[in-house]
Amino acid sequence: MNDFGGGIKVGRPLFEGADWEFGTIQRVHDAIEEIAIGELGLDVYPNQIEIIGTEQMLDAYSSIGMPLFYKHWSFGKHFARNEAMYRAGMQGLAYEIVINSNPCISYIMEENTATMQTLVIAHAAFGHNHFFKNNYVFKQWTDADGILDYLEFARGYIAQCEDRYGETAVERLLDAAHALMTHGVHRYPRRRSADLRSEEQRAKERRLHEERVFNDLWRTVPTKGVEKEDKSIEERRRALLQLPQENVLFFLEKTAPRLRPWQREVLRIVRIIAQYFYPQSQTKVMNEGCATYVHYRIMNRLHEKGLLTDGNMVEFLRSHTNVVFQPDFDDPRYSGINPYALGFGMMRDIERICTEPTAEDQNWFPDIAGSGDPMAVLRDVWANYRDESFMLQFLSPRMIRDFSLFHVLDDSNEPNLTVEAIHDERGYRKIQRALAKQYDIAWTLPDIQVVDVNLIGDRRLILHHRALNRVLLEERDARFVLQHLADLWGYDVLLKEVDPASDSVLKEHAATPRGGILQPDGG
């Protein structure tokens, strides 16, 4: 054995060749744990490693990676699609899927070689796991302790609804809710953080209470005539309805006049699951960067300690290099910036800044340059940033040069594209800002808000899309979604696309409900 890690070899290799059994997995996990907790200072949920086959992996793919999920045709569609692609050899499967829960569940594929299992355990069971447990966005928005229980409840509840109200009724409702799922998220913290474990209990209590206080006589009480509207009433009404409201599903659940209680509960389920996944979309680069950096450190360390043979190390490096490969923009393989490449690059860059800073780094990052303890800095970064703020803060000139990043502006009013900034002294700040913006959820998802509703009059719901940079909604899809929205609301819906710069209306879409979701009340 040669000694290219430079360290002292102590242990016998954990395994040789490609085969593994449960003992191997246990040994590998323990060896990794020693490094991850002892040397890197990671803080993780207890691990649960589950070994699955191809079909189960496809299963997990189709239900957004969750182990148990309610039933809906769209999951069947995704399964069929992935299966066809996989069978045709057009698509490989991931080596693992990891779930943000406590205990942290990692699914690993039975086909993986022993090296891949080691890599996957380091990556998912420690890298992602640490990130889930410590990042503030996850802490704020997700409840790792309760998610599995909640999914169980959701599946049971929806199955119960299907029994009681028919599969078609539930399917229609879920279709509409799924279409609005991207706009069923609170982007800013509310007073109270969600506690999923008590949600189920509360749902039951709410229903019980409603059943207890139900009195058919109230319906017959004559109501006062329509009061004269004035300015203050209108304002109070908006405040009561918490308008403007960007969480469309939340608004419908609380306010839509004709939904039945079980329908509100289903909307709530879809909304809560959307909220659970919301942090993942905000931290894609950091999450992958963290996991990739962690597995890279751990694998190297295992090799240094003699726990990984040279051959297995080469296998790992080959796979690792594929993962962090970033094709250039003019490369046919280019399909956007690879979050693994960018994330891993930035983590390595921070490590470099901490240990071997240049004068430029001293200038740009006086706080961390030369601090000598990269893990402390990284742990802090992983805990307190999301992609947008992370880019804004830590994208160094060196990284911009390494990636040769440049910024192109595409204005549909101009005949040509212009290069706004490149990787030079004048461009660093601009590129930093522009890249950060690309990872800001507010810029990637259209900003749609419920702005007004006339509850006393014709009950028409008015939404605004603030068309940033005059980019309008894709019309066909917008019409479909608006139709679903109208079906849930039960009355007319109007969507105005507004130019935020001038407040002028660029375009309007309207929809009238079709019925189908809402049955006539019948008294």
Residues 32-51 that bind another protein (CB under 8 A): 33, 46-51
CB of 409 to another protein, least distance (A): 6
Site string for another protein, 384-403 (x = CB under 8 A): -------------------x
Residue 344 or 357: the one with the smaller Cβ distance to another protein is 344
User: How far does CA 4 lie from the centroid of its chain?
Assistant: 40
Work out the number of other CB atoms within 10 angstroms of the CB of residue 82: 17
Residue from 233, 314, 409, 456 binding another protein (CB under 8 A): 409
Q: Which stretch binds another protein (CB under 8 A): 174-182, 219-227, 239-247, 259-267?
A: 174-182
Q: Rounded to an integer, what distance in angstroms lies between the CA atom of residue 190 and that of residue 176? A: 25
128-154 per-residue burial string, b: 16 or more CB within 10 A, e: under 16 = bbbbbbbbebbeebbbbebbbebbebb
Nearest to 137 by CA among 385, 461, 408: 385
Residue from 205, 234, 474, 508 binding another protein (CB under 8 A): 474
Residue 283 or 338: the one with the smaller Cβ distance to another protein is 338
DSSP 8-state symbol, 450: E
Contact call for residue 423 and another protein (CB under 8 A) = yes
β-strands 505-511, 493-498 pairing: antiparallel
| Distances 202 to 45, 189, 208, 214, 244 between C-alpha atoms, Å | 27, 21, 10, 18, 27
Q: Which stretch binds another protein (CB under 8 A): 22-30, 201-209, 222-230, 370-378?
A: 22-30
β-strands 104-109, 96-99 pairing: antiparallel
User: How far does CA 445 lie from the centroid of its chain?
Assistant: 12
Q: Rounded to an integer, what distance in angstroms lies between the CA atom of residue 75 and that of residue 158? A: 15
Check if the beta carbon of residue 142 is closer than 8 Å to that of residue 100: yes
Pair of tokens at residue 427: 């461009």
CB of 397 to another protein, least distance (A): 14
CB of 457 to another protein, least distance (A): 26
Nearest to 79 by CA among 96, 56, 97: 56
What are the contacts of 368-377 at 24+ separation with CB within 8 A? 374/350, 375/40, 375/41, 376/41, 377/350
Contact call for residue 249 and another protein (CB under 8 A) = no
Q: Among residue numbers 47 through 76, which ones bind another protein (CB under 8 A)?
A: 47-53, 55-56, 58-59, 62, 71-76
Site string for another protein, 431-470 (x = CB under 8 A): x--xx-xx------xx-x----------------x-x-xx
DSSP 8-state symbol, 482: H
CB of 426 to another protein, least distance (A): 7
Residue 56 or 454: the one with the smaller Cβ distance to another protein is 56
Residue from 178, 186, 206, 264 binding another protein (CB under 8 A): 178
Residue from 98, 196, 368, 473 binding another protein (CB under 8 A): 473
Residue from 375, 383, 422, 455 binding another protein (CB under 8 A): 422
Length of the chain as a residue count: 523
CB of 429 to another protein, least distance (A): 13
Site string for another protein, 83-112 (x = CB under 8 A): xx--x---------------x---x--x--
Q: Among residue numbers 306 through 335, which ones bind another protein (CB under 8 A)?
A: 326-331, 334-335
Work out the number of other CB atoms within 10 angstroms of the CB of residue 169: 18
Residue 307 or 377: the one with the smaller Cβ distance to another protein is 307
Residue 195 or 477: the one with the smaller Cβ distance to another protein is 477
Q: Among residue numbers 332 through 371, which ones bind another protein (CB under 8 A)?
A: 334-337
Q: Rounded to an integer, what distance in angstroms lies between the CA atom of residue 112 and that of residue 290? A: 22
Q: Rounded to an integer, what distance in angstroms lies between the CA atom of residue 14 and that of residue 429? A: 47
Residue from 205, 411, 429, 508 binding another protein (CB under 8 A): 411
CB of 8 to another protein, least distance (A): 27
Residue 377 or 398: the one with the smaller Cβ distance to another protein is 398
Beta strands in 16-124 (DSSP E): 47-52, 96-99, 104-109
Residue 178 or 238: the one with the smaller Cβ distance to another protein is 178
Residue 269 or 435: the one with the smaller Cβ distance to another protein is 435
Question: How many residues interact with another protein (rule CB under 8 A)?
Answer: 100
Site string for another protein, 110-129 (x = CB under 8 A): x-------------------
In one-letter notation, the amino acid at residue 135 is N
Contact call for residue 81 and another protein (CB under 8 A) = yes
Q: Among residue numbers 476 through 495, which ones bind another protein (CB under 8 A)?
A: 476-478, 480-481, 484
User: How far does CA 511 lie from the centroid of its chain?
Assistant: 30
Residue 5 or 103: the one with the smaller Cβ distance to another protein is 103
Contact call for residue 297 and another protein (CB under 8 A) = no
Task: Please enumerate in sequence order all residues whose Cβ is within 8 A of that of 382, keeping only pairs 6 or more positions apart, or say none.
Answer: 130, 131, 134, 135, 286, 290
Q: Rounded to an integer, what distance in angstroms lies between the CA atom of residue 49 and that of residue 463? A: 45
Rg of the chain (C-alpha set): 26
Contact call for residue 187 and another protein (CB under 8 A) = no
